[in-house]
Every structure is written in C-alpha cells, then in structure tokens.
Structure 1
Amino acid sequence: MNLKKLIIILFIFIAIPFVSGLEPEQIISNSADWQDVYSTMLYSELTGKSSYFLVSSRHSTLLIGQLSKSQKNTWVISSEKNPYVVSYKPVLESKGFAVEEFEYSNVNLEMARKIENITNFIVLDDSYGYNAISVAPYAVLTDSYVLFADRKNINLISNFLNTRQVESLLIYGQVDREVKERLSVFSPETINNGDRFLDNQAIVDKYQEKHIEVYGEPKTQVILTNGEFIEQEILSGVEPVVFIGRANVPDQVREYIKNSDIEIGILIGNELIGSATFIRRQLGISVFVKFAQSARTPSGPISAVEDLDRFYLPRYILSLDLYRVRYNKMNNQVYVTYQNNVALSSYLKGTITLRYEGETQTVGDSEPVFIDKNEYKTIVYDIDPVSAEQIRAEVFTIYGESRKSLEYTLRETVDVETVNILDNSEIEIVNVRYDRRKGEFLIDIKNTGNVDVFVDLELVDILINDELRTFGPEEVSFIEKGEVETIMVEVEMAEEDFENNPKVRLTAYYGERERNLVNVISGEYDYSFTGFGYLTGRLIKDIGGSAVTFGPIIIILLLLILIIGMKKKCPDCNEINSLRSKKCKRCGREI
C-alpha cells in the first residue's frame, strides 16, 4: 500500500467521529407526513437552527438553491417509511454540505429526546392538525415541545415524560380519555372548549400574557390563517396565529379581534382573502398578504417570484347543498331542504328571504341546526299566507363543524315550488335503553298515526369525554302504521359518561315522505340499561339477594334432577338401565 492511499484511509477514519457527531447549523425535513415536518421545524426553532422542509421529490433539488452556503453542517431528518427522497444525504454532499441523515419511524418522539433540558410540554391529538398550528407560536415563545398522543401511543408518551422533569404540561383540544387518565399525574392544564376557534383564542391569550411578561407589551401583529398548512413564519413564534374561517368569519372571531390589541394581520396565502377583506373593512385592522417568495433559481432580467413553501395538513372539507324550497299552501309553511354531501356531520344556520309580487318575508334559524353525514334535512318555517303564483327564495346559509364554527357559506336564489301537502303522521317515543355490550342507544318509536311514517332521530348534546356531541342513526327509519320500531344510535360511553348524562335529549323529525320530515318532537328522556353483560350482572345480583329465600328450593330441585338423571350400567352387556332397575333389561343379570 502506497503512502497516498494510507493517508486517505487515515483521513477517513479520523473524519468519521466528527461527521457522526455533526453539530447542525440547518435542518431539513424529508418526509411526506406532516407530523414529521412539524416536529422537525419545531425542534429547529427551539434549538435556534435554520430549518427547511421538502414538499415533493422534485423539490429536493430546488431546495438546494435556498440553503445557506455559509451553513454547511446539515441534518436531514427522514421518515423511515415515507420519505420524499431515499438517501438524500449524497445529493447534498455533492453540493459541498457536511451532512448527517437520521431515519426515524416516530420523528415526533425522537426529536423530543434530542432536546435534553426541555421541561415544558404541550400534548394534543394529531387527528386535528389545525390544533398543532394553533399552539406553535406559544410553544416557541415558552420553550415547550409539542407531543402527539392518542390511545395507541400514550404508553410511549407517558414513559418519555417520566424520564423528564416536567414543569408544565398543557393538554390542548380534544384528546382520548386514556390520554387524560395517563397524564393526570402531571397535573396538566387543559384548553378544550369544544370549538377550535375558542381554543385558538385561549392559546392566543396565553401567548399575549407570556409576551407581556417577557417584553412588557402585547403583540399587535398576528398571523391570519385557518390552520391548514405549515409555513416557515407560522412556526417562527414571532407572532401568534389567529384562525379566521374560510368563507365566513365566525361571530366569536369578530368579537375577539374587535376587543383585542390586534392592529395588523398577516394573511399567509390568498385562499382566505374573502375573510381577510371582511376583517379589514369591518373590524378596522390593517391586513397584508404574504403569498410568494423570490425565485430560488432566478432567470432573466426581471426578478421572478414563486409560491411559498407550504406543507398542507389533512383537511376536513364540508359540503352542503340546497336541495329544494317548497311552500305548502295547506298550512302556510315553507320547507327548506338541505343535502349534506360528505360523510361528516355539521351545523347550519340559514336566512331565507321570500320575494313575490313586490312583497318580502324573511325567516331563519335562531340557533344552528344539526345535519348528519350524507343526510337530507328539511327545516320548517311558518309564514303569512301567500297567494302569488311565483315565489323566489334567496337563501344565505352559514355552516361549519360545530355550533360556533360556522365558517362556510351557501348562497342560492331559487324558485319556490308551491304544493298542497297534508301530513297526518304521528309518532310516540315509547322507551329509551342503552346497550352496554354494543355501545348503542335503543330508542323504541311507535307509529300512532293512520299512515306509514319516516323517522330520523338525534341524540342532542351528549357529554362524552368532556365534549358535547350530537349523534344520529345511519339512515332514516320507516315505520308502518301501528308498528313499533327500535332505532339504534351508536354512542360509545364509559361509566363517567353515564354520570354526566343522567337523561338524554332526543329530537325526532318525522313525516309521510322521506325527504319531507316536516314534523318534530323533542324532549328529555330517562333511559335504562340492556345488553348481555348488564343483564347477566343484574341476574347474579338478584339471585344473590334472594339466596336466603330460594336457596333450599334450588338445592332440592338440583338433587331431584340428579337422581332422575342417574343410570345403571350392566357389567356384562354394557346396557344402560334405569337407576331403579334390579335386573338388566337386555341380558337379565341382576344389577
């Protein structure tokens, strides 16, 4: 071996320890999972490193033009199962960067382990990605790491936290019951108002309190978004994030901004330009839109721009259509029927303006109305008699995922169909039970009218795991006249939920026609328990309580059965004989 080769080999062996212990100046996320991107970005902010993320395989080469040439030491945090680029390290090394690449199956937890001295934590469920965006600025400001926890991984999260000196723990938004139980030992603070806009405002308030404590004044500039994507500035912690809604600014958001110290809003992207324009015009704050960045590979004499790097989170898209509007001359009622196009329940609140022959009548909902997934819902309004042949309806309906999150809008102007409908259907809610084994309510409905009837049920505001929820059956039920039908509504409940719901509030929509359930009954009902496990337990309890009275009788009956059932076997022919037989009936031998 010549001297040149020996020097190269020695250099490699000397360099390996230094490369494996590389102190990063910039960190890149190489994953198609938003949780990995978020965790890597948050780690970078908490440790003072520059951070970047890939949004596609093609982006891996474009990103190199954005990396700082003065910061050579680079970490790549790659998803073990879902990276955009397999072995991204050689690509960066070919451009002169010193690179160490880590592959993890659980980036969120592994990045937490890398921050040795952190003592503040925020826990949330990654089913709700917008919650992670909401807490990000507060996490950076307070040096808190965000952990994703659910019933599947809570053991890992709990074990990790037990290795740390936890000074503060915040549970944000709705989490699984098991998560609350396991983390209760850390005496956590909780933010969960059952509404993402109210939760967001609560965390912004905490951000402002901390900002005043550190800097002596509140932050007057905020980021306006809806929590649907990760972007560099959102995770910087420089400003809090305020959710504003997609097409409609919910009432509680308007009031919050109006009564706050906010003077300037930075809108990231232009998808929410309608909501941002409303905020600027109606609430009086300045709004600036950040929608592009300088091109990473400029060409030509004019400086080009390109879209912002944004990593989109899974989004729940609601979709509501106006099915039809009818005016019933028989009872002077307007029937407005909506169709929910997706497998997600929502709430709606409509205003309907009727115009005819120069006259106007306006009706609407005083409270949001629940509409279940893939369902038709008819809402009935009483109006003054109308004799006009042609009626037009202007429908403006806001809707959203909860009563206070009505951020979508539906606007339509349609002709009103005039009908003469007499609905003679009548029903009675006879009995309500809960099946512990199957985890469902059983509601017995009797058709007390003279016609067949269609029925749709709602269990309204059931308090499950500290969250008010509304439940309904999978489909509308058909009940023949005089018959009783049991309608099943799946609701998983634990013991504490039964204590929180001693009664249930039921609303039944019914009518002679499936898409015109124009009658409503509602009320609170007691419920009993059923199900094999429950009934068996009750039987054992009842037998135990009556053992003194019936014990001797049971013993005598068992002895009689035993005696009657006993047989004699002949030793010669093996014939089975009655216990009372003295001789074998087959061979005649005495037995």
Structure 2
Amino acid sequence: MGIVKRGWLLLVLLVLLSAYASAQNAEVVISNSKDWKDVYSVMQYGYLAQKVPAFIVSDRHAPVILYQWDPAAFTIEAISSKSRPQVIGYKSIIEGNGFTAKETVSDQITIDLAARLTDINQYVIVDPLYGYNAIAVAPYAIVSRSFVLFADQDTIADVDRFLSSQNPEHVLIYGHVDREVMERLSKYDPETINEDGDRFANNVAIVKKYKEINDAKQVLLTNGEVVEAEIMSGSQPVLFIGVENVPDKIKEYIKNSNIAVGVLVGNNLVGTATTVRRQTGISTFVKFARNAREPSGPVAQIEGLDIFYLPKVPFNLQISKIRYNKITRQIEVTYTNPEGVAVFFKATFTVRSENGEEQVMGDVDPLFIEGNSEKTVVYPVDPFTGEALSTDIFVIFGEARYSLERVLSGTMDVEIVSVTDESQLQIEKILLDRKNNLFLVYLKNIGEVDTYAQTEVHDVFLLGERRIFGAQDIVKIPPGQTGISKIPTEVFGDEDITNNPTIKVRTYFGEREDALVKVIEGQLDLRIKGFDIIDYAPHIIILLLILLIIGAMRKKKCEHCGHKNPRKRKICKNCHNKL
C-alpha cells in the first residue's frame, strides 16, 4: 500500500513538473511594426505555431503590454520591422522587465514567418490593397491550418518563389487580385473565391468554408478594418457588417444559417449591430474593453482592446443639387463622387411642398458612379402646385452592387427650374484600344443642339469578375458631329477579348453639361482598334532620319566635282579623278 501511495505521489509530482516546465517554455511573439501586414502575419504565425501572439500599437504601448505576463513563466520574441518599427531596441525594454528575450529584425516578415512553419502546406492569397479581405480569411486560415500571404504585381515574384520551394498542397485566392497574380499562380491550380469583387458576398463564402470545419454558432461582427486578437485566433468566424447599414447578403445569410450569437468587436459599430439584432433575431454583445494591465489603484480598472487599424479604402458620395423641372415633370438629382473609387448607390426621396403635397421616388436597382465624377439621375413625378419644395434623402451606397454599407441621409431644398432638353444622340460603335487600355465609344450627335455625354460600359467579364467602367470626363459634341468618349479599363488579354464579344454601353447625355438627364443604351460588338499611322508617325520619322544619315555616311564626296560616290569606289564616276 505504501508503495502504491508513493507511486501516485511520484506521478503527481511528474505531472506538476511537466506543467511547470511547459509554462517555463511558453513563448510570446510580439509584433513591433507600423505595417499592418507585419502585425497580421505575427498574429497568424503565433496561433498556428501555438505560441502567444501580440502586437504593440505605439512606443508607449511597448512596455505596458509586458505587464500581462509573468517573466518566470514566459519568454518573449520581438519580431521587428527593419524599416518601420514602433520602437527601436525593443529587446532591451523586454529584458529590462525581467524577461528572457530575443529579437528578429526583417523587412520580409510575412514570408520569413511562413518559412518557419514547416508543417503548413496550404496558403491563402490576398491583395494587400484590400485589408478587409485578410481579416475575412483569418479565422478560416487558422482552422484549416493555412498561412495567408500578400501578393500584388510588385510582390508576386517573391510569393511565387516561396510557393515553388514549398510545393503547396492547396492554394486559395481570395477576393480581387492583380492579373499578374492570377497568371503567376495558375500553375498551382488555385481555388478562387471572388463574387464580382463583392466583399460581403465573398465574406459569406469564406464563413461557409469555415463552418464546414467548425460549425460555430457564434460569430464575430466587424467591418474588416481592424486586427484584434480574437479575430485572428480562429475561435469563431468573422462576419462583416457595414459602418451604417447591414448589407442584404449578410442579413440573408444570418437568417438562413444556424448562427445564434454575434459578438461585436469595438464599440464604433454598435448602431449597426443593433440593426442586425432587430432584423435577424440573433443575440448581440459588444466586446470593447479588457482588464487593465498597468496597476493604478486598489479598484480593478479596465482599458481598451488592443486594436491595430488597417488603411481604409476611401469612398464617398454627395448630393450637390436637386431640381424639379416643371417642363419635363422630373426631379433631377445630381450626385458627386469626390473620391477615386467607384461607388454603387440606391436612393429614396420624399419630396414635399408647402401645400402638403408629397411624392416618394427612388431606385429599384443600385446605380453606378465612377470615381471623381458627377452623375444626374432623373425621376418622373406628377406636377407640383407648390413653389417651395424640399426632400428627405435616404441613400445607401458602397463599393459593390450589393455591398451598400454606408448611408447618406438628410433634408435638402429642391430648386425649381423650367428647362427643355432637345439633345439627341446615337451610339455608333465601341473599340478597345489595347495599347492605351481604353474603351473608345463613338457617339454621334443627331440633334440640332450641342450635346454633352458621359459613358459607361457594363458587365465586362475580367478575371472572373463582372465589372463596370466609366468615363470621368464629359465630352461635348456639336450637331452632326461624332465625339469619342474614352473610358479607362484594365489590361485585356486574348481570353478576355474572347469572353467579351459584345459590350453593354450606357450613355448619359443632355443639353446642359451639369444635368445629363437622358440615357441611351446598346449592346455593341467589341472591335479592336487597329494600326493607326498617327500613333507611330514619330517613330517612322525618326527611323527615316536615321536611314538618311546612314545613307549619307556611306557616300564619298569627290573633291574635284562634288559628286557623291559609293564609299568603296576609288575613281569618281563623274570626273574620273582619284578619290
């Protein structure tokens, strides 16, 4: 019996020693970088390598973050950006707080960390321009044991070189990426998730893949603009909610899924989370703080979450003026897009007069406006008898057709005008200028007044996406003449030309430059712009000059008569004197 007790005691002692040794070996990895991609990579590396990942957001944060760990139980590795660290010499700060520390300094942190994970052979590729895509795939990457790599036209060579050395088992390309990335990675037979560049539709698709591995009934709610520990941990999937509006894709998915709880990360989206609860019926909670790490008194304190903000994709929409045209019986709404990113929008207007009249109008489907441009949309109405009109505005807008996450609302006075528009236009043809990456839309003014026009091309199929491209400039076309509307596009490969035999062209036009109130559409055959001697005239002239110079250099001038002889001739052909 004594032997048995001693055996049990020995076993317990061994377990305790093992646990103590494990605690002694626990390692923290801390990102010391101002680049969100480095922070993201350190976090995913930490979770995949079963370490404790963290990041600092400023030089003052560098020592504070250390208070949450016991120097006797943890060692720390600082992974520092060579060019953009938050603090210089972080290793000495860590050691000054009693920890055993080491520091790795690099300017290729993502690939360096990926190379450390020798047991990982699956990769997810995202474009670093769209940080929200990286946030969307983070939980899936952890549960599927995949590492997220960032690739664009500038970095794809390095990413391809790394992947070639790994012989990957599976590659997933998520969201929109550059053509060079798609072409370079095609040899790995990648899976692709990209529903016309719609980040909310793509988000739903990756959550479905996550739930195939872990059928979580609780999700994190965010707008995809922050790195935070729980988001990166993979414990539950991430669903995007808009800044001011919940897109239909998200509402529909929640309603038709088994998701029961949503946890909002940060308090800047509380209003939208409330909308989620009301419209879907799931319970919502807000995670906005944590226990304070720095002691400040006898009462337990709290502090904000450690959050690293990603660069935002800037998009915006404004209404510059609203008019009621008595002659045409139309409300004319002129929108302005002040940013370089194209926007989709869908509006509702409630117009009232001082006589109590009220009419409601709006868009059935989302409309498109190119970046840095204006667009006028017209709505037919019954005649108003009042002379003082105002309207309530409610416009939802976003980066993709069904990702309308922002809200523009308010009240505006409506200007009353009486203007006719006699403009007439027809679309003649559309050419693709592959040299300059332009669509050239030929528009003929068949009316008797100067006409202004601005053109869009719709449903262009490029790299698996349906795209819309629009002209930023308005072209003026005199009566009887043809104008060319130039629409910037992306590089077209031979396959893209095959996939787009016809192009849908939509032209907004009118007699007033600031009110293109008429619309004409057509489905036209796409033709390729051929050889244009004007484009090559400078090169041809230079080549002829060079040939003339060479020809002149090959002649030998006679000193007696001035005749130009072939260079190898000894006797002048004209005067027979020696050359």
| Equivalent residue letter for 2:210 | Y
Instruction: Give the C-alpha shift of residue 181 in structure 1.
Output: 2.5
Aligned to 1:113: 115
Do the aligned partners of residues 300 and 96 (structure 1) sit closer, same or farther apart at CA in structure 2, a change above 3 Å counting?
closer
Instruction: Give the C-alpha shift of residue 189 in structure 1.
Output: 1.5
Do the aligned partners of residues 462 and 574 (structure 1) sit closer, same or farther apart at CA in structure 2, a change above 3 Å counting?
same
Instruction: Give the C-alpha shift of residue 590 in structure 1.
Output: 12
Instruction: Give the C-alpha shift of residue 589 in structure 1.
Output: 7.3
Aligned to 1:360: 358
Alignment of 1:255-404 (within 5 A): 255-356=252-353, 357-404=355-402
Aligned to 1:529: 528
2:37 aligned counterpart, secondary structure:
helix
2:334 aligned counterpart, secondary structure:
strand
Aligned to 1:36: 38
Do the aligned partners of residues 117 and 514 (structure 1) sit closer, same or farther apart at CA in structure 2, a change above 3 Å counting?
same
Aligned to 1:209: 212
Aligned to 1:151: 153
Aligned to 1:196: 199
Inter-partner Cα distance in structure 2 for 1:507 and 1:335: 18
Larger deviation: 162-171 or 334-343?
A: 162-171
Inter-partner Cα distance in structure 2 for 1:315 and 1:187: 31
| Equivalent residue letter for 2:457 | L
Instruction: Give the C-alpha shift of residue 325 in structure 1.
Output: 1.4
Instruction: Give the C-alpha shift of residue 353 in structure 1.
Output: 1.4
Instruction: Give the C-alpha shift of residue 428 in structure 1.
Output: 2.1
Aligned to 1:13: none
Inter-partner Cα distance in structure 2 for 1:534 and 1:229: 53
Alignment of 1:562-581 (within 5 A): 573=560, 575-576=562-563
1:330 aligned counterpart, secondary structure:
coil
Inter-partner Cα distance in structure 2 for 1:322 and 1:252: 26
Contact 1:437 / 1:533 at 8 angstroms: preserved in 2?
A: no
Inter-partner Cα distance in structure 2 for 1:37 and 1:247: 27
User: What per-residue deviation string (whole Å, max 9, x for no partner) do you get for residues 502-521 of structure 1?
Assistant: 11111111112222110111
Inter-partner Cα distance in structure 1 for 2:209 and 2:371: 35
User: What per-residue deviation string (whole Å, max 9, x for no partner) do you get for residues 185-218 of structure 1?
Assistant: 322221111211111111111111111xxxxxx2
| Equivalent residue letter for 1:376 | E
| Equivalent residue letter for 2:426 | E
Runs of 5+ consecutive residues of structure 2 not aligned to the other structure: 1-23, 537-551
Larger deviation: 102-111 or 378-387?
A: 378-387
Do the aligned partners of residues 451 and 42 (structure 1) sit closer, same or farther apart at CA in structure 2, a change above 3 Å counting?
same
Aligned to 2:518: 519
Aligned to 1:552: none
- In the alignment, is residue 247 of structure 1 matched against residue 249 of structure 2? no
| Equivalent residue letter for 1:37 | V
1:101 aligned counterpart, secondary structure:
strand
- In the alignment, is residue 53 of structure 1 matched against residue 55 of structure 2? yes
Do the aligned partners of residues 100 and 568 (structure 1) sit closer, same or farther apart at CA in structure 2, a change above 3 Å counting?
closer
Instruction: Give the C-alpha shift of residue 154 in structure 1.
Output: 2.1
Inter-partner Cα distance in structure 2 for 1:326 and 1:431: 33
Do the aligned partners of residues 118 and 576 (structure 1) sit closer, same or farther apart at CA in structure 2, a change above 3 Å counting?
same
| Equivalent residue letter for 1:48 | Q
1:131 aligned counterpart, secondary structure:
helix
* TM-score, length of structure 1 as denominator length: 0.85
- In the alignment, is residue 229 of structure 1 matched against residue 220 of structure 2? no
Inter-partner Cα distance in structure 2 for 1:569 and 1:108: 67
Runs of 5+ consecutive residues of structure 1 not aligned to the other structure: 1-21, 212-217, 538-564
Instruction: Give the C-alpha shift of residue 64 in structure 1.
Output: 2.0
Aligned-residue sequence identity (percent) comes to 43
2:129 aligned counterpart, secondary structure:
coil
Instruction: Give the C-alpha shift of residue 362 in structure 1.
Output: 1.3
Instruction: Give the C-alpha shift of residue 77 in structure 1.
Output: 0.5
Instruction: Give the C-alpha shift of residue 365 in structure 1.
Output: 0.7
- In the alignment, is residue 161 of structure 1 matched against residue 130 of structure 2? no
Contact 2:156 / 2:184 at 8 angstroms: preserved in 1?
A: yes
Instruction: Give the C-alpha shift of residue 478 in structure 1.
Output: 2.0
Instruction: Give the C-alpha shift of residue 304 in structure 1.
Output: 2.1
Inter-partner Cα distance in structure 2 for 1:323 and 1:474: 17
Do the aligned partners of residues 62 and 329 (structure 1) sit closer, same or farther apart at CA in structure 2, a change above 3 Å counting?
same
Larger deviation: 297-306 or 404-413?
A: 297-306
1:277 aligned counterpart, secondary structure:
helix
1:151 aligned counterpart, secondary structure:
coil
Aligned to 2:403: 405
Inter-partner Cα distance in structure 1 for 2:340 and 2:171: 34
Q: Choose the corresponding residue for 1:92, options 84, 91, 94.
A: 94
Inter-partner Cα distance in structure 2 for 1:532 and 1:171: 37
1:25 aligned counterpart, secondary structure:
strand
Instruction: Give the C-alpha shift of residue 87 in structure 1.
Output: 1.6
Do the aligned partners of residues 420 and 115 (structure 1) sit closer, same or farther apart at CA in structure 2, a change above 3 Å counting?
same
Q: Choose the corresponding residue for 1:482, options 480, 483, 493.
A: 480
Do the aligned partners of residues 131 and 578 (structure 1) sit closer, same or farther apart at CA in structure 2, a change above 3 Å counting?
closer
Inter-partner Cα distance in structure 2 for 1:133 and 1:341: 27
Do the aligned partners of residues 231 and 68 (structure 1) sit closer, same or farther apart at CA in structure 2, a change above 3 Å counting?
farther
Instruction: Give the C-alpha shift of residue 531 in structure 1.
Output: 5.0
Do the aligned partners of residues 422 and 91 (structure 1) sit closer, same or farther apart at CA in structure 2, a change above 3 Å counting?
same
Inter-partner Cα distance in structure 1 for 2:390 and 2:452: 29
1:394 aligned counterpart, secondary structure:
strand
Aligned to 2:499: 500
Inter-partner Cα distance in structure 1 for 2:66 and 2:312: 29
Contact 1:263 / 1:285 at 8 angstroms: preserved in 2?
A: yes
| Equivalent residue letter for 2:377 | I
User: What per-residue deviation string (whole Å, max 9, x for no partner) do you get for residues 259-300 of structure 1?
Assistant: 111111100001111110011122111111011112221323
User: What per-residue deviation string (whole Å, max 9, x for no partner) do you get for residues 484-526 of structure 1?
Assistant: 2222222121111111111111111111222211011111112
Inter-partner Cα distance in structure 2 for 1:588 and 1:76: 89
Do the aligned partners of residues 568 and 489 (structure 1) sit closer, same or farther apart at CA in structure 2, a change above 3 Å counting?
closer
User: What per-residue deviation string (whole Å, max 9, x for no partner) do you get for residues 515-570 of structure 1?
Assistant: 21101111111232225499999xxxxxxxxxxxxxxxxxxxxxxxxxxx9x9989
Do the aligned partners of residues 133 and 569 (structure 1) sit closer, same or farther apart at CA in structure 2, a change above 3 Å counting?
closer
Inter-partner Cα distance in structure 2 for 1:533 and 1:167: 48
Instruction: Give the C-alpha shift of residue 27 in structure 1.
Output: 0.5
Instruction: Give the C-alpha shift of residue 464 in structure 1.
Output: 1.7
RMSD: 2.6
1:353 aligned counterpart, secondary structure:
strand
Instruction: Give the C-alpha shift of residue 587 in structure 1.
Output: 5.6
2:416 aligned counterpart, secondary structure:
strand
Inter-partner Cα distance in structure 1 for 2:238 and 2:557: 91
User: What per-residue deviation string (whole Å, max 9, x for no partner) do you get for residues 164-198 of structure 1?
Assistant: 24222211111222222332232222111121111
Aligned to 2:28: 26
Contact 2:373 / 2:472 at 8 angstroms: preserved in 1?
A: no
The aligned length equals: 533
Contact 1:222 / 1:242 at 8 angstroms: preserved in 2?
A: yes
| Equivalent residue letter for 2:563 | I
User: What per-residue deviation string (whole Å, max 9, x for no partner) do you get for residues 47-90 of structure 1?
Assistant: 11111101111211222223343433111101111111112111
User: What per-residue deviation string (whole Å, max 9, x for no partner) do you get for residues 298-357 of structure 1?
Assistant: 323432222111000111132212212111111211111112122211011001112233
